[in-house]
Amino acid sequence: MIRINDIRKTYYTGEIEFEALCGIDVHIKKGEFVSIIGPSGSGKSTLMNIIGCLDVSTEGQYLLDDKDVSSIDDFGLSRVRNEKIGFVFQSFNLIPRMSALQNVALPLVYAGASYEERTERAKHALEIVGLGDKLKNKPNEMSGGQKQRVAIARAIVTDPSVILADEPTGNLDSKTTQEIMEILKGLKAKGNTIVLVTHEPEIAEQTERVLVIKDGLLEKDYYNQPKEVDATCVS
Amino acid sequence: MRFLESVRMAFDALLANKMRALLTMLGIIIGIASVMTMVGLGKGSQQFMKGQFESFGMNRAAVYTNYEEMTTEEQLFKPSDIQMLERVFKDRIIAISPSSEADGQLNLGKKSYNFSLKGVNEEYDKIEKMTLVYGRFLNDEDVASARNVAVVDKKIMDKFYSGLDPVGKRINLDINGETSSFVIVGVYQRPATISGQGKEVFNMYVPNVSLIQMSGENVYYVYEFKAKPDSNVDAVLKEMIKVIERKKGVEGKGFYLSYSSQKEMQMFGKLTSSLTLFVSAIAAVSLLVGGIGIMNIMLVSVTERTREIGTRKALGASKRDIMVQFLIESIVVSAIGGAIGILLGFGMGTIAGHFAKFKPVIPLSTIMMTLGFSAAIGIFFGLYPAKKAADLNPIDALRYE
């Protein structure tokens, strides 16, 4: 699914050279729920940006669904993002003037789907996250948890290869955080591959596998006790 | 992404900020409205004037003496000069007539009315467009024997003869302090002309010789002619003046001036087109300012929506998608501004035309061109902000606060 071979990323700002990733090798299998954890400045965001095809590595190879995406052009990257990746952001990033349904349907607009198809699939995605009754609501009429659920619906509407969640619970209280985590676990149970970036160990604990990044290197890579995943269930 | 989808998105974005969109359009609206008004009035007045000149007579011209330069009476037109011209130009003109003018008063009790008398020959009805309502026009005998007869305007019949046929009636006028009596032989009607509209002046034609006898002159300051349809009236005029100058021995002194509807129309055309050009220049400045306004607001919009742009890019929008989205937004703003401007221009033109007594004319081609031009402004001034949006780095854009 995701195969990263000796990925390096160097930033050049003026005369200063900064190596954010110093050679990382990771293989994430289909259906895994992986968290990337590390302190700020560790390089976890850079790694996520590369996995999400928002950025390209300076060196190394990145295979997504057996396709080498480490050296494709800007347009190619936008297609990969559209077809294979579903983003969930810390600050939701919903478009304020659009309804929940329109927000969720947006990736399908860029996929070139017809209006009927978009509406159908967006409705279905909103039903999965339990917002089948909030199709017409605008983001400012919804709570933080609801907004994030809309964002998750938007991430899964294209049926992507991997769902990339960047601190998805960072702006939420503990109760809502748990709700979101349950939804993500439910998606994992349905066979989705999820990569979650966080700096909170309690969140990472709830995932199947943890990648600890420190100073641009993969420090640890371990599996949590499977019971934690199995014990959860989405209503 | 589909084009229509982009247009719908642009409308959504603009409707989210209606007031701002409207204010942004204002420059374009004012610019386009002023162009429309001016084009409409210019074209309308040109058509109106064309109609006026046509009623004056398209191949009609007058040659007159320049009072300021004239030195002796020798240089005025004598009957023999007119006869000579008639001979020389007989292939190219339909009719020629010396013309003189005099003012007269009709005194009825305490009231006095102004009459304008024009002394012409029997051919004059071929020069000036007129329709005889009653009687006949002046004939060669009237002219040859200087009879005191008159062909009067229908207005005179309506005012002084209760609209009844006045042929055979006498009319007594005070001319230069003396009373002259004219027998009415005909009544004519003329389409309304530019001058004398609404003014209470009564026109009549009398044999020129009769008028000369009254004023004591046997020379003319003016003669008029009508060229044949296939000959160029301005060329005939030029040649005629040369012939006259040669005969009088005053070549190249500019003693003789001329007037023709063609010449007048050219002058009028030049006037209106230079006026249109002037207003268009102002409008162009307004459009430029409007365009800069659009660019400014689009730049603000790109900055405000940086996160949105980042989000769209993360969801799969390509550079081209973002570029097209913002370009269409600016095109929609300027095209709607242009459309409002056209409507406003129509309205202002109609109101102005109401006062000017003619209809403004705006050709469809002008409307299409104007719409195209305002869309072009949208493209031109939208390009930079759209490019800026398209080139945003999605990572930075997503992190933008």
> Which range of residues forms the domain containing residue B25?
3-52+266-399
Please spell the DSSP secondary structure of B44-104, one letter per residue.
HHHHHHHHHHHHH-TTEEEEEE-TTT---GGGSBPHHHHHHHHHHTTTTEEEEEEEEEEEE
C-alpha A208/C-alpha A229 separation (Å) is 7
CB contact under 8 A, A95 and B308: yes
The token duo for B194 is 């530019």
CB contact under 8 A, B1 and A78: no
Provide the CA B332 distance to its chain's centre, in angstroms.
35
Are residue B362 and residue B214 in the same domain, yes or no? no
Strand order in the sheet with A59-64: A16-28, A2-13, A59-64, A67-68
Q: Which chain B residue has its CA at the smallest distance from A85's CA? A: B315
| Spatial contact of B68 and B255, defined as CB atoms under 8 Å apart | no
Are residue B176 and residue B110 in the same domain, yes or no? yes
CB contact under 8 A, A93 and B5: no
C-alpha B15/C-alpha B8 separation (Å) is 10
CB contact under 8 A, A97 and B311: no
Are residue B285 and residue B143 in the same domain, yes or no? no
Query: Would you call B14 helix, strand, or coil by DSSP?
Result: helix
The token duo for B59 is 């191949």
Provide the CA B78 distance to its chain's centre, in angstroms.
36
Among residues B155, B226, B234, B217, which one has the least CA distance to residue B192? Answer: B155
Any A CB within 8 A of B12 CB: yes
Among residues A90, A206, A86, A82, which one has the least CA distance to residue A148? Answer: A90
Are residue B121 and residue B243 in the same domain, yes or no? yes
Q: Which of A57, A69, A78 to mutate to test the interface with B (most CBs of B within 10 A)?
A: A78
Q: How many residue contacts between A and B have a Cβ separation below 8 Å?
A: 65
| Spatial contact of B96 and B86, defined as CB atoms under 8 Å apart | yes
Are residue B220 and residue B74 in the same domain, yes or no? yes
Are residue B228 and residue B84 in the same domain, yes or no? yes
Any B CB within 8 A of A97 CB: yes
Longest Cα pair distance anywhere in chain B, in angstroms? 105
Which chain B residues are within 8 Å of A54, Cβ to Cβ?
Answer: 313-314, 394-395, 398
| Spatial contact of B348 and B37, defined as CB atoms under 8 Å apart | yes
| Spatial contact of B64 and B219, defined as CB atoms under 8 Å apart | no
Read off the pLDDT of residues B265-279 as tens digits, 9 standing for 90 and up: 888 888 888 887 887
Per-residue pLDDT of chain A (235 residues; tens, 9 = 90+): 899 999 999 988 888 888 899 999 999 999 999 999 998 889 898 999 999 999 999 999 999 999 999 889 999 999 999 999 999 999 999 999 999 999 999 999 999 999 999 999 999 999 999 999 999 999 999 999 999 999 999 999 999 999 999 999 988 999 999 999 999 999 999 999 999 999 999 999 999 999 999 999 999 999 987 654 444 544 4
What is the count of structural domains for chain B? 2
| Spatial contact of A81 and A54, defined as CB atoms under 8 Å apart | yes
Are residue B35 and residue B77 in the same domain, yes or no? no
Among residues B254, B275, B306, the one where a domain terminates is B254
Cβ neighbours of residue B23 closer than 8 Å, sequence gap 6 or more:
none
Is the ipTM higher than 0.85? The answer is: yes
In chain A, which among 125-154 make CB contacts under 8 A with chain B? Answer: 154
In this structure, is the dihedral angle defined by the CA atoms of residues B386, B392, B397 and B401, taken in order, positive or negative? Answer: negative
Task: Evaluate whether residue B260 is within a structural domain.
Answer: no
Task: Evaluate whether residue B60 is within a structural domain.
Answer: no
CB atoms within 10 A of CB A222: 8
Residue among B1, B314, B320 minimizing CB distance to A87:
B314
Q: What is the pLDDT of residue A229?
A: 47
Q: Which chain B residue has its CA at the smallest distance from A84's CA? A: B316
Read off the pLDDT of residues B100-139 as tens digits, 9 standing for 90 and up: 888 888 888 888 888 888 889 888 888 887 888 899 999 9
Residue with tokens 């007869």: B149
Residue with tokens 């160097």: A10
Which chain A residues are within 8 Å of B315, Cβ to Cβ?
Answer: 81-82, 87, 106-107, 110, 154
Among residues A164, A124, A136, which one has the least CA distance to residue A32? Answer: A164
CB atoms within 10 A of CB B141: 11
Please give, rounded to a whole number of angstroms, the shortest distance from the CA of A101 to a CA of chain B. Answer: 15
Any A CB within 8 A of B218 CB: no
Among residues B189, B219, B254, the one where a domain terminates is B254
C-alpha B128/C-alpha B59 separation (Å) is 10
Residue with tokens 């040859």: B144
Q: What is the pLDDT of residue B196?
A: 45
| Spatial contact of B10 and B321, defined as CB atoms under 8 Å apart | no
Are residue B287 and residue B345 in the same domain, yes or no? yes
CB contact under 8 A, B1 and A110: yes
Which chain A residues are within 8 Å of B317, Cβ to Cβ?
Answer: 78, 82, 110
| Spatial contact of A10 and A18, defined as CB atoms under 8 Å apart | yes
Please give, rounded to a whole number of angstroms, the shortest distance from the CA of A97 to a CA of chain B. Answer: 7
Which chain A residues are within 8 Å of B318, Cβ to Cβ?
Answer: 74-75, 78-79, 110
Which chain A residues are within 8 Å of B310, Cβ to Cβ?
Answer: 93
Any B CB within 8 A of A92 CB: no
Q: What is the pLDDT of residue B200?
A: 65
pLDDT < 70: residue spans in chain B? 1, 70-71, 191-200, 213-217
Q: What is the pLDDT of residue B199?
A: 55
Among residues B77, B86, B158, which one has the least CA distance to residue B122? Answer: B86
Delineate the domains of chain A, giving CATH numbers in brackets. 29-57+77-230 (3.40.50.300)
The token duo for B130 is 């007129």
Any B CB within 8 A of A159 CB: no
Per-residue H/E/C for B287-329: HHHHHHHHHHHHHHHHHHCHHHHHHHHHCCCCHHHHHHHHHHH
Among residues A90, A98, A97, A147, which one has the least CA distance to residue A118? Answer: A98
Are residue B119 and residue B151 in the same domain, yes or no? yes
Q: What is the pLDDT of residue B252?
A: 79
Among residues B58, B126, B122, B59, which one has the least CA distance to residue B92? Answer: B59
Q: What is the pLDDT of residue A68?
A: 93
| Spatial contact of A224 and A176, defined as CB atoms under 8 Å apart | no
Angstrom CA distances, B60 to B93, B196, B337, stand at: 10, 19, 47
Provide the CA B22 distance to its chain's centre, in angstroms.
35
Q: What is the DSSP letter of B249?
A: T
Are residue B206 and residue B301 in the same domain, yes or no? no
Angstrom CA distances, B235 to B249, B262, B396, stand at: 21, 11, 76
Residue type present at position A179? E
Query: Would you call B254 helix, strand, or coil by DSSP?
Result: coil
Task: Evaluate whether residue B58 is within a structural domain.
Answer: no
Q: Which chain A residue has its CA at the smallest distance from B8's CA? A: A109
C-alpha A138/C-alpha A107 separation (Å) is 17
C-alpha B122/C-alpha B138 separation (Å) is 5
Task: Evaluate whether residue B331 is within a structural domain.
Answer: yes
Task: Evaluate whether residue B13 is within a structural domain.
Answer: yes
Any B CB within 8 A of A223 CB: no
Among residues A68, A104, A72, which one has the least CA distance to residue A86? Answer: A104
Task: Evaluate whether residue B385 is within a structural domain.
Answer: yes
CB contact under 8 A, A106 and B395: no
Angstrom CA distances, A126 to A61, A106, A120, A166, A186, stand at: 35, 13, 10, 20, 14
Any A CB within 8 A of B2 CB: yes
C-alpha B47/C-alpha B55 separation (Å) is 12
Q: What is the pLDDT of residue A206?
A: 93
Q: What is the pLDDT of residue B191?
A: 64
Task: Evaluate whether residue B59 is within a structural domain.
Answer: no
Any B CB within 8 A of A81 CB: yes
Any A CB within 8 A of B325 CB: no
CB atoms within 10 A of CB A112: 12
Half-sphere exposure of B87 (CA within 13 A, CB side): 8
Among residues B222, B254, B286, the one where a domain terminates is B254
Half-sphere exposure of A183 (CA within 13 A, CB side): 28
Query: Would you call B115 helix, strand, or coil by DSSP?
Result: strand
Residue among A49, A55, A112 minimizing CB distance to B1:
A112
Residue type present at position A69? V
Are residue B104 and residue B237 in the same domain, yes or no? yes
C-alpha A162/C-alpha B244 separation (Å) is 100
Q: What is the pLDDT of residue B259?
A: 85
Residue among B12, B321, B394 minimizing CB distance to A110:
B321
Please give, rounded to a whole number of angstroms, the shortest distance from the CA of A164 to a CA of chain B. Answer: 11
Are residue B155 and residue B233 in the same domain, yes or no? yes
Among residues B203, B211, B207, B206, which one has the least CA distance to residue B158? Answer: B203
Task: Evaluate whether residue B86 is within a structural domain.
Answer: yes
